[in-house]
Structure 1
Amino acid sequence: MKTIKYLLLSAILVGFTACSEDDYDYNPAPEPLPELTAGTADFSKYVAVGASFSAGFTDNALFIKGQENSFPNILAQQFAKVGGGAFSQPLMKDNIGGLILGSTVVAAPRLYLDLSGSSPAPKLLNATPTTQLTDVLSGPFNNYGIPGAKSFHLGIQGYGSLNPYFGRMASSATASVIGDAVAQNATFFTLSEIGGNDVLSYATSGGIGMNQVGNFNPATYGGNDITDPNVFAASFEATVKALTSNGAKGAVANVPYITNLAHFTTVPHKPLSPANPAFGPQIPLLNNIFGALNQIFAQVDPSRQIVFSTTAASAVVIHDESLTNIAPIIEGALNASPTFPAFIAQFGLPAEAAPLVAKLLANTYGQARQATANDLLVLPSMNTIGTVNMAVVQALMAQGVSQALAGQFSVEGVTLPLEDKWVLIPSEQENIKTATDAYNQSIAAVAAQYNLAMVDFKSILQTASSTGFADGDFIFTTKLVSGGLISLDGVHLTSRGYALMANEFLKAIDAQYGSNFIAAGVKANPGDYPTNYNKDLR
């Protein structure tokens, strides 16, 4: 009986334990999501106004797949679940990207990620665009994202004759972007990245205030000067006033510090490795050449001294237009030096060439220094550093310098200071920040005045560039190729990045108008969108 008793007790204990373990492992069904509501907003007719980001520009081009994954189109798909209507976009003819005028390519094809080398790198698609600049589409459209548009461009009548991306969708030859957008009588709108191009062309040109680009390029179109903050403020408020004139609600985004983008953070200021067989063996000779100049720099401004390391990476040599031009001091000191004729003799030059060489060195290095961590090199400079500038070679040869010696003194970033267009020096970066801060003050004030939702895109990009920005299963950073947020051109977002942007708009809209897209689980899944497109996509 005792045995039976203990067996029964054991069975009871085992059963109790089993039940406890089942209870512990039990995963209850998730709480049902709330029913989706639009709050006080009406999404039945949605219109997007903006620039490249609104258009879906990615990998340095506009093409169908990128447009289909534009953040306004992603938003429209969410709006459709709460009464939103159709969303029409001015699609390109292909997935090649770019524009042609007749048979002439006026905007290049898209970039793709080339995996054939030792490390993945952006490469221009080897294909000819098929979208004719002069082919005008019949609207109306819902997406008025115009690559290259600055704040004051939106109200220009006839802007289609200046910007082909708007020209192919404008309602008439005299139409303005804002006029066509307002004509759609939208119930809801987004106004995004207005202000970005107002500083971007200045930044991508290395702080050059004059447009030096021949063919149309969305990143530099319309001149490179930073838009005056007062002009921006008036243009932005006029745009919002027009878009809200029928009582429409909307959401706006502020302007990030564009210097956080991969276009300005990818190329290091110290890219010159002594392990490079084209550079390392030349270091002793280079230090000998700059030794003569460094004696002068030490007297005038020691920060200008140029020295290349034999054991670690060295900084490139740049032209800094903010420095006092000491060319006359250099020329005078070299001509007065009794050892200078002997110095140039090592290059096979006669003593009588000393005055010519002194002038050449003075003109070349009068505003030169090595880059520091405070300088930003623009992305295209990676293809220039270390190359021989043949135009400079020819100019030196025209002055009697031998071809071999001219080549030695024409190596970009080494013996030839990188031009202003390749570098953003601190003062130029400060110009960009000052303007951006002023733009954002205006955007915040107008958003408050008109009771609009506002997306803090500036904070999003800052977080992504430092600790990373989370959305779903992804941590987005601003690193080129691997960060997931910035496309191969270093400026525009990836399609996955545009999904993140759409979700941030939904958050802001929920907060302002009482909708519940995020709480109801109605948002984009970033994993459904690519970070780049296959080169075979046409």
Structure 2
Amino acid sequence: MKNNIKLLALLALGLAACEPEFDKEVSESGFYSAGDADFTTYVAVGNSLTAGYADNALYLQGQENSYPNMIAMQFAHVGGGDFTQPLMNDNIGGLLAGGNKIADSRMVLEFDAEGNPSPVNLDEEPTTDITNTLEGPMNNMGVPGAKIYHLVAEGYGNIGGVGSTANPYFVRFASSASTSVIADAVAQDPTFFTLWIGNNDILSYATSGGVGVDRTGDTNPAGYGENDITDPNVFASIYNNLLTALTGNGAKGAVANIPDVTSIPYFTTVPYAPVPMDEGTANQVNQGYADYNQALSLFVLLGQIDEEEAQRREIKFQAGQNPVVILDEDLTPLKHPVTGDDIPNLRQTTSEDLIVLNASSFIGTPAGEDPTQINGISVPLGDRWVLTPEEQQLVSNAQTQYNATIKALAEQHSLAFVDTRAMLAQAAETGIPYDGGVLTSTYATGKAFSLDGVHPTAKGYALVANAFIEAINETYNSTIPEVNPGAYPDVFIK
């Protein structure tokens, strides 16, 4: 079966890469006020969202368009000082370690001979080697991949631990092999800080399609896997410790909560019924599932499942757009009544399932040399490609508790609070107007999200910067000017 799924079939591109400009010159004085805050030394703490990560990589222009860098440029109107970042070598992205590639280059939009667009990695090799460490300190302490407990982990920048206990991005600018992210942040004696952390504590579970463990009740992060959900009590304890450390010298700051995964195009781009099929093909496929469907009645008689689950597990295709077949570990395990063998937990996707963006590249294509073995049809999608309602609930439960912690501790420490959850929900539901258009979460054409479907474009980061500035102005009686999202680029074409 030919794969007719077109990820960006209606792409109407108005894409331009331009350098950011500001409405007001930094040299202007007397017009803006710092209010009750001191922006002399600003330190930003967080993960990839703070670093300026986009298009599935960290690269130079992305860092220059990071929301902390935008904020720092606006702080310069009210006494803000220099803002140093651990800049990459180029706009290729990716990483080397002793000359060996350990992270891929960034994504760009490419058009094939028929004019169909698709995201591809640049066919250039990275030039940024983590063995070439940078001289600090760095005001932007955003570390791609960091979860909340990583920020307090000593040795997180030790090159000997890369691949296990250390992060290659932090290796580049850690003050020593034994330090932690928060230690290096606090050592700068910041007068103002931003903290946006916690996304990865649920996001890695979600983007892996729920391949991980919900660690709620497990308070020892040392045993957590890469895709596990962080225990909310661990999150709360460490978050409080972070704020205590950052405000210990009297610094003021701003913190942000965690958006819904359903707000980002990584989970909203691929429809639950992405497979087109004519009537003849549908009948042929249904014949292949006839014995399986008939056996479901037997499992009901044997008491292994009830009628409702039998209906949920039935596989049926028809002319038009069809759901894909998936393996769902949350279904009741079935045993063959004679052999005792396990029966695959099959069902088709529903509107409640979220198929991850990366699955679009192979749904409807042959799974091997046999042309009858088709991904998502005769060959079910594995757990990693679909976030089921049960898995979504686990993410939502943790996120709700994380956000309650962030809001409560922001109030306790008298900090500015940024509701990025509401902002990105607006982008997903109605779009966010700016001087030049509307930013939405539609993949590529919405211009708010980069090609990885998770991280913002520079325009999207400008929205984040403005949300921080608005909260800072409201909390500290300052009059810091906002940035113009229209002056920043969105998706890049190869």
Find the partner of 1:226 among 229, 232, 257: 229
Aligned residues: 439
Find the partner of 1:166 among 167, 170, 174: 170
Matched residues in 2 for 1:222 and 1:118: separation? 41
Letter matched to residue 317 of structure 1: V
For the 8 Å contact 1:78–1:523, the answer to whether it is kept is: yes
Deviation at 1:269, TM superposition (A): 1.1
| Match status 1:489 vs 2:489 | no
For the 8 Å contact 1:298–1:305, the answer to whether it is kept is: no
Find the partner of 1:66 among 55, 62, 65: 62
Instruction: Please report the TM-score for the alignment, with normalisation by the length of structure 2.
Output: 0.85
Please name the residue that 2:47 is paired with: 51
The DSSP-based 3-state class of the residue aligned with 1:160 is coil
Please name the residue that 2:134 is paired with: 137
Matched residues in 2 for 1:506 and 1:249: separation? 13
Deviation at 1:36, TM superposition (A): 1.0
| Match status 1:374 vs 2:349 | no
Please name the residue that 1:383 is paired with: 361
Deviation at 1:35, TM superposition (A): 2.5
Matched residues in 1 for 2:132 and 2:213: separation? 30
The DSSP-based 3-state class of the residue aligned with 2:96 is strand
Please name the residue that 1:513 is paired with: 476
Please name the residue that 1:528 is paired with: 487
For the 8 Å contact 2:44–2:195, the answer to whether it is kept is: yes
Deviation at 1:473, TM superposition (A): 3.4
Matched residues in 1 for 2:32 and 2:250: separation? 23
Please name the residue that 1:183 is paired with: 187
Letter matched to residue 102 of structure 1: G
Please name the residue that 1:306 is paired with: 315
Find the partner of 1:417 among 364, 375, 380: 380
Matched residues in 2 for 1:308 and 1:474: separation? 40
Please name the residue that 1:324 is paired with: 332
Please name the residue that 1:476 is paired with: 439
Find the partner of 2:267 among 257, 264, 268: 264
Deviation at 1:155, TM superposition (A): 0.6
Unaligned 5+ segments in structure 1 are 1-32, 212-220, 333-354, 391-402
Alignment of 1:82-97 (within 5 A): 82-97=78-93
Deviation at 1:534, TM superposition (A): 4.4
Please name the residue that 1:342 is paired with: none
Please name the residue that 1:293 is paired with: 292
| Match status 1:39 vs 2:35 | yes
Letter matched to residue 290 of structure 1: Y
Matched residues in 1 for 2:126 and 2:379: separation? 36
For the 8 Å contact 1:259–1:429, the answer to whether it is kept is: no
Matched residues in 1 for 2:355 and 2:261: separation? 13
Matched residues in 2 for 1:524 and 1:63: separation? 21
Q: RMSD between aligned alpha carbons? A: 2.0
Deviation at 1:281, TM superposition (A): 5.3
Matched residues in 1 for 2:225 and 2:470: separation? 34
Instruction: Please report the TM-score for the alignment, with normalisation by the length of structure 1.
Output: 0.79
**1:222–1:366 CA distance, 2 compared to 1 (3 A):** closer
Q: Deviations over 1:371-394 (max 9, x none)?
A: 00000001111112123334xxxx
Q: Deviations over 1:228-267 (max 9, x none)?
A: 0000001111111100000000000000112321001111
Matched residues in 1 for 2:89 and 2:213: separation? 32
| Match status 1:125 vs 2:122 | yes
Matched residues in 2 for 1:445 and 1:473: separation? 36
Structure (1 or 2) with the greater helix fraction: 1
| Match status 1:274 vs 2:308 | no
Matched residues in 1 for 2:271 and 2:244: separation? 44
The DSSP-based 3-state class of the residue aligned with 2:152 is coil
Matched residues in 2 for 1:120 and 1:73: separation? 31
Higher mean alpha-carbon deviation, 468-477 vs 504-513, is at 468-477
Find the partner of 1:77 among 66, 73, 91: 73
Matched residues in 2 for 1:327 and 1:529: separation? 57
Letter matched to residue 254 of structure 1: N
